[in-house]
Amino acid sequence: MRDNDRSNTRTMWSERDLDEALGALHSDVDTDPRTLDRTRSMLMRAAGNPEEAQSVPDSDADDVLPIARPKRTWRSWVTVAAAAAALAVGVTALQTVSFNGDAPRISQAVAGTLSEAAQKTDAIHSQDQPPGPGQYRYVSHHGWEMVTLHPGWDTFGVLAENRRERWIPADEKQEWLERRTTTGQEKWVKGTREEAEAAGVDVYASWWPEGERKSPCGDFYANQSADGGAPPCAGEPGWGKPTQEWMATLPREPEALYATLRSTAGSPYDEPVMDNYQMVHNVGTTLQTGQVPADLRAALYRALAMVPGVEITEQGVDLDGRQGVAIGIANDDQRYEMIIDPATGEYIGYRAVATEQNPDYEPGTVLAVTSVKTAVVDAMGAYPHD
C-alpha cells in the first residue's frame, strides 16, 4: 500500500456496530441524557474511535435492524457526524439514513417500526406452527373493493363488501376449499346507484363470483378441460403463489432477500419508481396469502425497510377491530399500503388509496381495504374458535 493510501484509511465499521448505531438513531425523540450518551458512544465506536466510546450493555445489542451494508465511504462518515451532532443538542435525529452509490435510503421511522415488528415476529416463531396432518390453515379476507363504472363520459364509483375464505391443507397438493360471498353492502363514492342506473349502467349487488370451489394446490380457476390449459398444480410458484417449498428457498438474510425482491420486480417500463412499487406489492401479495412462516415474515419486514420510497402513511389504522401502522409506497395513481402491528409483528391487511394523479378519485379516497386473519382448524370448512 502506498503511504498516501495508508494515511486515508479508517477503522472499518463492523456489521454489529453499524446495526447498533442505526438502531439507536430511532430513539431520536428520547432526550434522556443516558440515551444520548449511549447513542453517541455507539456512533463514535462505529466511526472508529473506540477510545471515545463508553461501554454499551450487551443486553441492548440485539435490539437492532439488519440493513443493507455496502462499502463505507466518506459519505457514511458525514452521515454519522451529522447524526451525532443532532443528538448532542437533543433535537430530532436525521429523518433518513443514506449510504453511497445505489444503496437504499432508509427512513428511520419505517426502519424502526419494521424492526420492532420483525423482532416480535421472531419472538413468536416457535409458536407459529403449520397445520398438522389432517388439519387446515384457515385464511379469511374481509374487504371493500372499488368498482369503477364508465358509462359514456360519466364516472361512478362504489365500494362493495366481500368475503373470501380458504381452507389450506397441511399438504398443499391436496384439495383446498374456497368460499366467496358478497354481503350486498355498498358505499357509493362517486355518484349514486340511481344516477348510475339512469345513465344506463347495469348495477348489481354481486360484483364478484360467489359460491364454493375445491381444487388441489388452490388452483380454483385452472383450466381442467381436455382441450388444453394448465391443470391444477401445474403453475409456477412465486410471490402470488407462495408454496412452502418455494418459500423455503428464499433467503432469510435481509440483504439477500432484498436482492431477490429487486431481481424479480422489473417493471415493463424500466422505471425505478415502478420497480420499487412492485417490490412492496410483491411482499404484500405474499403476506396476504396467510401462508408465510414467521421467520420469513420477519425477514420480509427487514427487507421492506430497505426499499426506496417506503414510508409510514398513517398510525392507528383500524381493520376489523385490530390496530396497525400503514406502511406504503405510491405509483402514478395510487398508494399501496400494508397494515402491520409492530407491537405483535402481526400482518393485519392492506389497502389502496388514490393519489393526486388518480384520474377518477380525490386524493386519499380508499380504493380497496381488506383485513386478513388466519388460524389452524381441524377440518375443511370448519371455523376457528372465538
- In this structure, how many other beta carbons lie within 10 angstroms of the beta carbon of residue 264? 12
In the chain, where are the structural domains located? 3-103, 126-377
* pLDDT recorded at residue 49: 45
Which of 318, 320, 301, 319 has its CA nearest to residue 310?
301
The DSSP-derived string for 142-182 is EEEEEEEE-STT--EEEEEEEEEEEEEESSTTSEEEEEEEE
Reported confidence tier of residue 343, pLDDT bands at 50, 70, 90: confident
pLDDT over threshold 90, residue 91: no
Q: 355 pLDDT exceeds 50?
A: yes
Instruction: Output the pLDDT for position 265.
Output: 86
Looking at this protein, which amino acid is placed at residue 311?
Answer: E
Which pLDDT score is estimated for 141?
Answer: 97
Q: What is the mean pLDDT of the chain?
A: 75
Q: How confident is the model at residue 115 (pLDDT cuts 50, 70, 90)?
A: confident
Q: 106 or 169: which carries more pLDDT confidence?
A: 169
pLDDT band at residue 48 under the 50/70/90 scheme: very low
Q: For position 363, what pLDDT does the model report?
A: 95
Q: Which residue do the cell numbers 348489481 mark? A: 204
Q: For cell 447513542, name the residue.
A: 39
